[in-house]
Amino acid sequence: MPRLQRVFATDAAHVQWTLAAFFLGFALGQAFYGPIADRYGRKPSLYVGLVLYIGASIGCALAPDIGTLAGLRFLEAIGACAGAVVARAVVSDLFVGQEAARIFTALMVVMGLAPILAPLIGGYLLLWFDWPVIFWVLAAFGLACLVAVWLRLPETHRPESVRSLALGSVAARYLRLLLDRRYLGYALSGAASMAGMFAYIAGSPFVFITLHHLAPQAYAWLFGANAFGIALASRLNHRLLRHRSADVLLVAANLVQVAAGVLLLAAAATGWAGPAGLAAALFLYVACVGVVTPNSVALAMAPHRLTAGVASALLGVLQFALAAAAAALVGALQSASALPMAAIILGFGLLGLALRTLLVGRAPASG
């Protein structure tokens, strides 16, 4: 972002629009792909999204001004979000129950690590090349995904599951989901957990690099450690699902995230253990995303296999809407301490647990 500010001779607020545009596009776009995937199938939806993503990424690399770049980032996100919607729908097409939760756990290793690892890769590309190279790399990656979908991904949408694209029918499907307490409880629990992670992504560079003078290279290792934590927790979740229900594991991970949020707020308020104390509490919270997300997604989508595209789309909209809100809150409340970031992370941890409990009810005592 500082590089773009210099290149386009603009201010930080205008550069921030490029990120806000991507968040907005990613949140809104998912609502459109769900009905399309339920009508025309999973692969055609991916083809449309990936072609749009590749074209918009090339446009970003060639953008002449910051306004054009922001608009193209919005289109890029509209294309990118097809992957998230269809991936969840494909799993729901093929698997049920505990097996679905295990497959979503494997999917989480990719979808959860992406927002952690992507800034690291982009940072190293900026060390070696100019900023447009990032978008050329994204376009090349999109092309590789397009070829992989064409050659390797079977169509999993069954003819008997085809649904109408009529506006009234689509609206009715979304309304049924919004009135389903269990769906909303699981979906919002996962979304709140993810929002806490995005609050960490948005706030931690300021906290560790600016406030605690951590070298950028050391911060990169800290970022990578949290990515490893997600992968480790996802692997543990995969094993535990053989002995415990997804609901029990979800509630347990929600509770651990609340505890981690309390520790983080205490460390931020008292300075206890310095940056190491903050890092330890953050590691605990972020790692639990690898348990909360796959289990909440599996539980939310389980009763909605015939409309998996719409159910997946609404999940994504809720996740990214809360994630964008979390990032915006961190930016708006940023001060000369880690307290705003810590309070927001704890708040979303509590929100996830509360929504799961209020809308779904008590978890069973055992698996």
The Cα-based distances of 328 to 234, 315, 333, 346 in angstroms read: 28, 20, 9, 16
68 by Cβ neighbours in 10 Å (0-12 / 13-18 / 19+) ranks as middle
pLDDT at 366: 45
For residue 16, tell me if it sits in a domain: yes
The total domain count for the chain is 1
Q: How many CB atoms lie within 10 A of CB 2?
A: 9
| pLDDT tens for each residue of 94-119 | 887 778 778 877 777 777 667 667 77
| pLDDT tens for each residue of 322-351 | 887 887 788 777 777 888 889 999 999 999
- The parent domain of residue 170 ranges over 2-156+164-360
The pTM (predicted TM-score) of the whole model is: 0.77
For residue 365, tell me if it sits in a domain: no
For residue 261, tell me if it sits in a domain: yes
The mean pLDDT values, 10 residues at a time, for the chain of 367 residues are 78 73 83 80 89 96 90 93 85 79 77 70 82 93 94 79 67 84 91 89 80 77 82 86 87 94 92 87 92 88 76 83 82 78 92 91 55
For residue 15, tell me if it sits in a domain: yes
pLDDT at 73: 92
For residue 74, tell me if it sits in a domain: yes
For residue 367, tell me if it sits in a domain: no
For residue 34, tell me if it sits in a domain: yes
For residue 290, tell me if it sits in a domain: yes
CB 354 within 8 A of CB 184: no
pLDDT at 165: 62
CATH number of the domain at 128, please.
1.20.1250.20
What is the Cα–Cα distance from 265 to 120, expressed in whole angstroms? 26
pLDDT at 116: 66
What is the Cα–Cα distance from 291 to 240, expressed in whole angstroms? 10
